[in-house]
Amino acid sequence: MRLLRGLARLWVVPVALAAWEVLTRLAQAPYFPPPSTIAARSHELWFSGPAARLFLSDEAVRHLLPSLWRLVVGWAGACLAGVLVGIAVGRSRRLAEYVNPLIHFGRSIPPPTLLPIFLVLFGVGTPTQLAAIVFGVLWPVLLNSVDGARDVDRQYLETADVFRLSRGQRLWRIILPAAAPKVFAGLRLSVSLALVMMIISELVGSTEGIGYRMLQDALDIPAMWTAIVLIGVLGFVLNAAFVRAERWLLAWHYGARKST
């Protein structure tokens, strides 16, 4: 029942799709193909492969998989680094005072400005993409982890002292869980940033990937649109999956909030 009502709320999506179809057919604008054309081209380009490969075409294997691989590796690496450094900085006031100006400067640099430098350092290819993704993802994760670790409720820490928890236990049982909501907020922000950095780095310096493939289609506008739609769907799915995971992993946190 709830599902039905949820679906009913989405009536505007098919209506918008239909309107898009009609308008583009009427306007005949060269750069705006109708959605049905995009869907057909999508199928042909990306999903016409054998069933054993989840219908992925050769093109998809060549361009989608490397993109996704770099996205995941770069994101995970930057998150790990950001959380580790962030917790350390958040727990030590003194360390925070030393590094704060550097952190604020680093996060103020628009990440794409570093791309040309990564290109001369690492050349065209995966290391440049990974560096770009890591630099883009690092800052929101780092800043949120600092915030989360710094603002741990005093009572929790005092309770930990009373129970004589070791430093390791204090970190695992008190500080990390208390910082988790903030940390997750940072992780969620960083997912979309990772996607942005993945695409821009492929547009500028790559020989494969969705972003690279997009620029190859100067004369095949529907193919370019398939990449836009694919990236949009990827962004939507990653974000939705993350919100789900967050709700599930932090259920205890929301529960505790409700009961107080």
**Judged by CB under 8 A, which of 68, 165, 221, 250 binds another protein?**
221
The residue (of 138 and 160) whose beta carbon lies closer to another protein is 138
Exposed e or buried b for every residue in 201-235, given b needs 16+ CB within 10 A? bbbbbbebbbbbbbeebeeebbbbbbbeebbeebe
Closer to another protein at the Cβ: 34 or 111? Answer: 111
Q: Does 35 contact another protein by CB under 8 A?
A: no
Q: How far is the CB of 49 from another protein (least distance, A)?
A: 23
Among 23, 53, 72, 98, indicate the residue that binds another protein (CB under 8 A). Answer: 98
Residue 87's closest CA among 39, 38, 142, 20? 142
Q: How near is the Cβ of 50 to another protein at its closest, in Å?
A: 28
Pick the piece of the chain touching another protein (CB under 8 A) from 33-41, 46-54, 60-68, 96-104.
Answer: 96-104
**Binding of another protein by 88 (CB under 8 A):** no
Contacts with another protein in 124-183 (CB under 8 A)? 147
138/126 Cα distance (integer angstroms): 18
CB-nearer residue toward another protein: 26 or 51: 26
Q: Which stretch binds another protein (CB under 8 A): 48-56, 60-68, 170-178, 199-207?
A: 199-207
To the nearest 10°, the Cα dihedral for 98, 104, 110, 112?
A: 30
Among the listed residues 209, 233, 213, 231, the one whose alpha carbon sits nearest the alpha carbon of residue 223: 213
Applying CB under 8 A, does 248 fall inside the site for another protein? no
Which residues, at least 6 apart from 101, have a Cβ–Cβ distance to it below 8 Å? Answer: none
Distance CA 138, CA 186 (A): 9
**168, 119 contact by CB (below 8 A):** no
Of 117, 89, 83, which Cα lies nearest the Cα of 102? 89
* Residue of 104, 244, 247, 257 interacting with another protein (CB under 8 A): 104
Sorted by sequence, the CB contacts under 8 Å of residue 106 that are 6+ apart come out as 138, 139
Site residues (vs another protein, CB under 8 A): 9-10, 12-13, 16, 31, 94, 97-102, 104-106, 108-117, 119-121, 147, 192, 195-196, 199-200, 203-204, 211, 214-215, 217, 221, 224-225, 227-228, 231-232, 235-236, 238-239
